Every structure is written in structure tokens, then in C-alpha cells.
Amino acid sequence: GILRALGAGRWQLCRMGLAETSLLIIAACILGTGQGIYLAFMATRIDHLMAGFNSRLVVAWGAVGVCSLATAGLALLAAWWPASRATYEAARALIASGRE
């Protein structure tokens, strides 16, 4: 609401919302992949220590890439509705809705 009152265009707000979503997607994919690899490594270590299994960690990078792209697509699709809806509201209504 405040950016609209200061003169930002409708589609500029939409692009800003989608850009913010994109940054969150990138951070989530990087951190989630790192955490998943770490937990898989720890699981192989626990298998070795507790049961004596000698397994090694193999990362399927193709599957990681496909899942990351699917996550990014779904997140952008989910962010499109609120971002585009904000472009049609009047600046005064957007500012007033923040007080509730």
C-alpha cells in the first residue's frame, strides 16, 4: 500500500512480490538440499555404527534438480495470486487493510 501511495506502478508491485518469492525459493532450495544431504550422511553413519552396514552416500543430482524446479514452479504459482491481487486494490485500501 505504501509503495503504491509513493508512486509504484501496479505491475512493479507484482514483480517485486514475485522477486521476493524467487529469493525465498532459492534460499529454501539451497538450505533444504544441504540439510537433506547432511541428514542422509548422518543416517549412513548411524547405520554403520549401529548395524555395521557399509553403505555410501550417493546423491541423485537429477532428482534434486527436478524437485527444486517443481518446488520453484509451485511456489511462484502460489505467489502469483496474492501478488496480482495487490495490483488491483487501491492504495488507500491497501494501507487501511494493514491496520486491522
Distance separating alpha carbons of residues 15 and 2, to the nearest angstrom? 16
Distance separating alpha carbons of residues 69 and 33, to the nearest angstrom? 13
pTM (2 d.p.) = 0.71
Report the pLDDT averaged over residues 52-78: 93
The yes-or-no verdict on residue 100 having pLDDT over 80 is no
Per-residue model confidence as pLDDT tens digits over 73-95: 999 999 988 877 767 766 666 66
Which of 8, 32, 26 has its CA nearest to residue 86?
Answer: 8
CB 25 within 8 A of CB 75: yes
Per-residue model confidence as pLDDT tens digits over 8-43: 667 777 788 789 899 999 999 999 999 999 999 999
